[in-house]
Structure 1
Amino acid sequence: MSRPTRVGIVGAGPRVLVLLQRLSAHAHHAARELEVHVVDPFDSGAGRVWRRVQDPLLWMNSRAADISVLPDASVTGLTPPVLRGPSLAEWVAEHRADLLREAAGNHAAQAELLDHGPASFTSRRLASRYFADAWDRTVSALPAGVRVHRHHRTVLDLTDDPVDGGQVLHLDGGPSTDGTGADETLPVDVVLLAQGHLDVRPGPRERRTAGFARAHGLAYVRPGYTSEQDLDVLAPGADVVVVGMGLAFVDLVVRLTEGRGGRFEERADGGLDYRPGGREPRLHVGSRRGVPYRSKIDYPVPADLGLPRYYSARTVDAVHGNGLLDLRADLWPLIAREMAGAHYRELFRSHPGRTTVPAAEFDEAFGRAAWGSAELDEFVGRAVPDPADRFDLADLDRPLDGWWGTSAEEVHARVLAHVEGDRARRSDPRSSPDAAVLAAVLSAYVVTAGLHAAGRLNARSTAVDLDGWWHGFFSYVASGPPPQRLRQLAALARAGVVRFLGADVHVEADPTPGVAAFTAGSGSGPHEVRAQGLVEARLPVPDLEWTSDVLLGRLRDRGEVRAHEIVDDGSRWSNGRLVVDATARLVGRDGKAHPRRFATGAWVSGEASAAAFARPGTDAELFRRADRLAAELLRAASASSGPSPVPLSTPQGDRR
């Protein structure tokens, strides 16, 4: 009789939670015993990012109604059995009474629970409870013969078993909580790396900046996870330059304002004021674009937009054939046309009074004219008379490009007007074409991910653009903060706590004795600021060369993993992320895929934008992707777990 199949998983976040559901289903369907060893020092189901112990002021950046880690009735094509369950919004509604009792005495937590609804942006601490409950549901529903062993420890190394080719996980000396003991080695048949977000060691530039700050008594906060950083080095009242205006920046501002005793007050006229707590630094903020990420849409996204229309696998083949594709040269024009087409379909459908020709006539002409042609521009100008109603990709992407302010005040006022205008538009159904563009970007992300998975992108696009420029644009347009965060940012700007520097910000170290400082300016005006502190408000960029993860470092040093890189005209390009083959197997320096080692998540090339949870009611691909990965893991494990292979099922639909 064969022994149970053993799968080792490094990581315990939402992706692993979803995968556990699919692993158990495949094992049950095959009537095979399965033991899954999950190793992660952080919370089960939540992992590092969504763990319960963190600042209660920090929110998720998606509405509660848009978050689920359990399949709903819309999800198809999965190997049975399927454990279905509630979204985050549904779970909070179902458990509100019990959660309120648990929060007795915590007025902020109770207020969140009382006000929580489908449109809420949930605190990460409350969301961690949902992930924990989903984990418990998953483990409780495991079929006979499937067991999950949870190890709250860290994996230090991964080696091949010289006897049977299996895998050996080497753990740190912490306690094991699953009753299996505290062995320092854990033999399994196959391993999946799913650590999620990892840290990197400071690079040369960061070490120089930190050394300058130490030598001159200045403060420096390098890239990192804002919820974990020591911000006490930023003194109250000090001038601090902040580079970066994405989600890490939003968390930073929260911790340095409300987190230091400040409060926001609603005015009778509907405005918002900020009352300083007295311990805030003065933040001078800028970035490449010079504006924060576009906020989330605060009204229902239009349905039935017919996406994708201009950018799909079929239209790509029709235009470019079946050869390799360049993301910028070949695909970006199709993506731009998809966004513009969605914008105008929604404008003509919901706001016909702002147009001058019938919708069908416009649609036919838009589809016929060459993208970017003078013919198309002239027709759009006649059909959509107000320039504010026209799709402007340049303004969407880089709203400060080509603009120059004459003073710091003018630049600050220009960015503040943009922040307030963006929040207003994305909270106003009259601007619903903006929501249609968002839907088109999400559709384009799915199509692009599919082309990448099918091996259609050329080397440069895969190594450089996919997780770089494209991921940055996607995040800026579609993965921004809640509208309330921009409303708060505007209030902070009016209160003088935040000052906007503009676009293409640059920072230099001025070592002048007695007045050493970080000096910052931008491409938006002639102004300059001198500051006693510098914060690089962004997450660490995945880079295998500089990882501080002991496991990945050892695998790298032995050549058992490699980063995705290309050489173009004598220059080396790399995105720093792990290379895997089409079945998610790790690829080593020799170019060969390891038959028993897999990886998924933010540190894998091409997966920078991969969702960790699903949007309910959309037949989310997340679950089918996990289903396919579970099948591959068990197929690989079966070779060493017994005399006969596991008869894996084939789910309906695409098995890419």
Structure 2
Amino acid sequence: MIWNSAYLDPFLNKAPKTIYNRVVNENNLPTEESESIYIAIIGGGPKGFYALDRFINKIIHLNTEKRINIHWFNHTRDFAAGPNFQPHLPSYLIMNDCIAEISCWEDLNKPHILPKRLKLIDWINENKSGENEPRHGDFCSRELMGLYLMDALKNILENIPNTMDIKLINANVIDIDVVEEKTKVTTSKKRLPYQYESTIICTGHSYANMEEENLLATDVSENIMYLPQAYPVELLDDIPSQVDVAIKGIGLTFMDAVLHLTEGRGGIFYKQDQEYRYLPSGYEPTIYPFSRRNLPMLPRNAFWEGNKYQLKIMTDDWVNSLKSRNGQLNFERDILPIYNLETQIAFYSHVHSTKELSDSEILDFIDSFDSSKLFSISALIDPMTYSKVQMESNYHEFIVDLGIYSLKLSDQGELKSPMAAAIAALREGFYKIADLFAHNGFDEESQESFEKHWMAFINHTAFGPPRDSIDKLFCLAKDGFVKFIFSEEPSISISDNRLKIKNSYIEKEFNYFIDARIPKGNLKLKNNLLFERMQKKGYVREIVNGKYENGKIAVQKDGRLIGNINNALIYLYGIPTDGTFLQNDSLSRKINNFSDEWSVATMDRIAEKYSCRNNKMECIKFSNLNYINLTSN
């Protein structure tokens, strides 16, 4: 089942309104109080909420007479939900993980200002309006997730201590200045007077694609409609019906665009013989996707703690053996062979002819069988070569057949189906790789190869959309509403007031073009105004590994900026840290949770400057005991 807000108590719709009523802008902020401590959180999505929640539950242990003022900045009013989980999104845009795998809270056994905190599945069960019980493998819409997050924020705001004030500020932060050990913030409208004791930046996907913007800026044509991004999805409403539209990128954003241009225009998906059928509305365009690999994503099956693939070779012992080298690793030499073997074992453990074999017998089979015919990571990267299909053949037919085959090999989930198990091995193995990347790092040549080639492949294969969305995509492909015609990455040019997309085998002209990629942070592109200005001041530095420069922001192991910040507390959390740490595009509060390190460092700073010196109290640092014990002399 796919849950959306229509299945919940309508009373929950008050949560977003409660949040909106608390939002202010820069001009509504009170005069700075000299006896108050100011904290800044920049970015109002889930990571910003996690930082707020963690900080509040640290600060309640601090005995200080000074008032704590938290200024939380976001460019929209949807605090906690952010742009990806706004409560007014259409219900056919669904979460990629099942409801049993999602929680906006940390360990529920930890002390907290809220005694009752619920995982998503339990929250749905408590707030459902009907009798259906949520199951672990169910999914939900992103707008329902937004309600869950905003309801959590509402409960936090209603229970904060009297010594604290939280301002939700609808403003776009474009600059930061370091003043001694504090920071000052400038928004798009004004420079604020407050001096912030500590700042955490949780800006998420705040970048922009540049390539086609530059192309179309030099060859402007009024006959070409170019959308440099697919969000908000309402932008796509300007695409006329029954026209050909090219979409660059075949990832998660592409799936949202496809569904909005079909189901979002009144088309109806229905099940017949357990398969999707599509009843068109007549307002759909015909969609022509392309990308570097020109392959659709594979489905992400439902998994949750206690019901997911367990790695056989890439164990903690294996990770620790590589960590013990205390030096940079080479991905292709030190990791890839084991990663490939892990994927093969997962696949052949569920193939009919080999599923009865033990792990050691499967290893013997892999070692003795013709490698060119074995399932492998290489087969996933380049299925045409693996299948020995000619590049000039009917590519659309090949993709549809491949999709149907892959879906059949994954229809029973990762504990029973070979393709689903292989994808799960890629996913779980990647978490181990991320751990090694953060601890050891990769050597110069290997890091460049990994980031420019392997990362995109792994993310595209192991972290796809849910099965339901992929089923819909191939239903549309079979019916001709989505057409895969580019077997090789094409080039883009403008000719005769039309956009020409061409490779060695085919070319086609378009008047409508959507860039459906999620842009990556790159300081060289100057595509984020805040980080660009911070870089010019020396607050932000680029990661450099030998001669390889990747445009990513350098941070310490705890998420603190590496730059000329004069001992100021400036931390990054989430997407902006993706140069030093991998897999930060996640709702998990366990993966690279720098909100905890930031909260501890901030508490230590406040305790040292205000509790100990000014109040003459005995102070024990949070970094040592995770709490403060203050007693009067």
TM-score normalised according to structure 2 size: 0.81
In structure 2, relative to structure 1, the CA distance for the partners of 1:540 and 1:318 (3 Å cut) is closer
Letter in 2 for 1:359: S
Residue in structure 1 matched with residue 213 of structure 2 by the alignment: 206
In structure 2, relative to structure 1, the CA distance for the partners of 1:640 and 1:542 (3 Å cut) is same
Residue in structure 2 matched with residue 94 of structure 1 by the alignment: 126
Between the aligned partners of 1:651 and 1:481, the Cα distance in structure 2 is 41
Between the aligned partners of 1:494 and 1:141, the Cα distance in structure 2 is 53
Between the aligned partners of 1:147 and 1:444, the Cα distance in structure 2 is 43
Between the aligned partners of 1:434 and 1:593, the Cα distance in structure 2 is 51
In structure 2, relative to structure 1, the CA distance for the partners of 1:136 and 1:301 (3 Å cut) is closer
Contact 1:210 1:220 in 2 (8 A): no
1:337-381 CA distances to partner (integer Å, 9 max, x unpaired)?
33334445x44xxx7x73397526527xx3xxxxxxxx7634467
In structure 2, relative to structure 1, the CA distance for the partners of 1:360 and 1:471 (3 Å cut) is closer
Residue in structure 1 matched with residue 321 of structure 2 by the alignment: 317
In the alignment, is residue 629 of structure 1 matched against residue 598 of structure 2? Answer: yes
1:167 CA drift (Å): 1.5
In structure 2, relative to structure 1, the CA distance for the partners of 1:575 and 1:521 (3 Å cut) is same
Q: Name the SS of the counterpart of 2:561 in structure 1.
A: strand
Q: Name the SS of the counterpart of 1:621 in structure 2.
A: coil
Residue in structure 2 matched with residue 19 of structure 1 by the alignment: 51
- Mean alpha-carbon deviation: is it higher for 529-538 or for 484-493? 529-538
Contact 2:178 2:566 in 1 (8 A): no
Residue in structure 2 matched with residue 416 of structure 1 by the alignment: 400
Between the aligned partners of 1:356 and 1:335, the Cα distance in structure 2 is 20
Residue in structure 2 matched with residue 519 of structure 1 by the alignment: 501
In structure 2, relative to structure 1, the CA distance for the partners of 1:186 and 1:118 (3 Å cut) is farther
In the alignment, is residue 126 of structure 1 matched against residue 144 of structure 2? Answer: yes
Residue in structure 2 matched with residue 335 of structure 1 by the alignment: 339
In the alignment, is residue 528 of structure 1 matched against residue 507 of structure 2? Answer: yes
Q: Which has the higher contact order (CA 8 A, sep 6+)?
A: 1
In the alignment, is residue 354 of structure 1 matched against residue 353 of structure 2? Answer: yes
Residue in structure 1 matched with residue 5 of structure 2 by the alignment: none
Give unmatched runs, 5+ long, in structure 2: 1-33, 614-618, 627-633
Between the aligned partners of 2:492 and 2:189, the Cα distance in structure 1 is 44
In structure 2, relative to structure 1, the CA distance for the partners of 1:233 and 1:360 (3 Å cut) is closer
In the alignment, is residue 506 of structure 1 matched against residue 490 of structure 2? Answer: yes
1:260 CA drift (Å): 2.1
In structure 2, relative to structure 1, the CA distance for the partners of 1:445 and 1:393 (3 Å cut) is closer
1:438 CA drift (Å): 3.7
1:445-498 CA distances to partner (integer Å, 9 max, x unpaired)?
332232233344335555x45655343233222211121212211221222211
Between the aligned partners of 1:206 and 1:171, the Cα distance in structure 2 is 25
In structure 2, relative to structure 1, the CA distance for the partners of 1:80 and 1:134 (3 Å cut) is closer
Between the aligned partners of 1:275 and 1:407, the Cα distance in structure 2 is 32
Residue identity (%): 21
Choose from 586, 595, 604 the match for 2:561.
586
Q: Name the SS of the counterpart of 2:40 in structure 1.
A: strand
Contact 2:331 2:446 in 1 (8 A): yes
In structure 2, relative to structure 1, the CA distance for the partners of 1:424 and 1:438 (3 Å cut) is same
Choose from 570, 573, 588 the match for 1:600.
573
Matches for 1:243-262 after TM superposition, within 5 Å: 243-262=248-267
1:605-655 CA distances to partner (integer Å, 9 max, x unpaired)?
2345225423xxxxx724965433321333345555455466205479xxx
Number of residue-to-residue matches in the alignment: 582
Between the aligned partners of 2:549 and 2:116, the Cα distance in structure 1 is 40
Contact 2:607 2:621 in 1 (8 A): no
In the alignment, is residue 551 of structure 1 matched against residue 530 of structure 2? Answer: yes
1:145 CA drift (Å): 4.0
In structure 2, relative to structure 1, the CA distance for the partners of 1:475 and 1:119 (3 Å cut) is same
1:366-406 CA distances to partner (integer Å, 9 max, x unpaired)?
3xxxxxxxx76344679xxxx7xx64222223322354447
Between the aligned partners of 2:361 and 2:566, the Cα distance in structure 1 is 51
1:513-535 CA distances to partner (integer Å, 9 max, x unpaired)?
4x84413346xxx3433333333
Between the aligned partners of 1:58 and 1:583, the Cα distance in structure 2 is 34
In the alignment, is residue 60 of structure 1 matched against residue 92 of structure 2? Answer: no
Between the aligned partners of 2:304 and 2:104, the Cα distance in structure 1 is 22
Contact 1:51 1:125 in 2 (8 A): yes
Contact 2:98 2:140 in 1 (8 A): yes
Contact 2:328 2:442 in 1 (8 A): yes
Residue in structure 1 matched with residue 80 of structure 2 by the alignment: 45
Between the aligned partners of 1:57 and 1:119, the Cα distance in structure 2 is 17
1:144 CA drift (Å): 6.0
Residue in structure 2 matched with residue 370 of structure 1 by the alignment: none
Q: Name the SS of the counterpart of 1:291 in structure 2.
A: coil
Residue in structure 2 matched with residue 180 of structure 1 by the alignment: none
Q: Name the SS of the counterpart of 2:300 in structure 1.
A: coil
Between the aligned partners of 2:308 and 2:510, the Cα distance in structure 1 is 50
Q: Name the SS of the counterpart of 1:231 in structure 2.
A: helix
Contact 1:166 1:640 in 2 (8 A): no
Between the aligned partners of 1:221 and 1:173, the Cα distance in structure 2 is 27
1:233 CA drift (Å): 4.7
Residue in structure 1 matched with residue 22 of structure 2 by the alignment: none
1:416 CA drift (Å): 0.5
Residue in structure 1 matched with residue 293 of structure 2 by the alignment: 289
Letter in 1 for 2:186: H
Choose from 430, 436, 444 the match for 1:445.
430
Choose from 444, 452, 458 the match for 1:474.
458
Contact 1:262 1:274 in 2 (8 A): yes
In the alignment, is residue 610 of structure 1 matched against residue 584 of structure 2? Answer: yes
Between the aligned partners of 1:310 and 1:458, the Cα distance in structure 2 is 20
1:520-554 CA distances to partner (integer Å, 9 max, x unpaired)?
346xxx34333333333211221224345432232
In structure 2, relative to structure 1, the CA distance for the partners of 1:599 and 1:161 (3 Å cut) is same
1:327 CA drift (Å): 2.6
Matches for 1:193-272 after TM superposition, within 5 Å: 193-200=201-208, 202-203=210-211, 205-212=212-219, 214-215=220-221, 217-222=223-228, 224-228=229-233, 230-267=235-272, 269-272=273-276
1:163-183 CA distances to partner (integer Å, 9 max, x unpaired)?
xx3221223559xxxxxxxx9
1:210 CA drift (Å): 4.8
Instruction: Extract structure 1 runs of 4+ deviating beyond 6 A.
Output: 79-82, 113-116, 299-302
TM-score normalised according to structure 1 size: 0.78
Q: Name the SS of the counterpart of 2:84 in structure 1.
A: coil
Contact 1:471 1:609 in 2 (8 A): no
Matches for 1:128-167 after TM superposition, within 5 Å: 128-143=146-161, 145-162=163-180, 165-167=181-183
Residue in structure 2 matched with residue 307 of structure 1 by the alignment: 311
1:191-213 CA distances to partner (integer Å, 9 max, x unpaired)?
1111111032634x53213543x
Letter in 2 for 1:159: D
Between the aligned partners of 1:356 and 1:490, the Cα distance in structure 2 is 28
1:244-303 CA distances to partner (integer Å, 9 max, x unpaired)?
211111011111112222222333x33332222222222122323322111111578985
Contact 2:584 2:592 in 1 (8 A): no
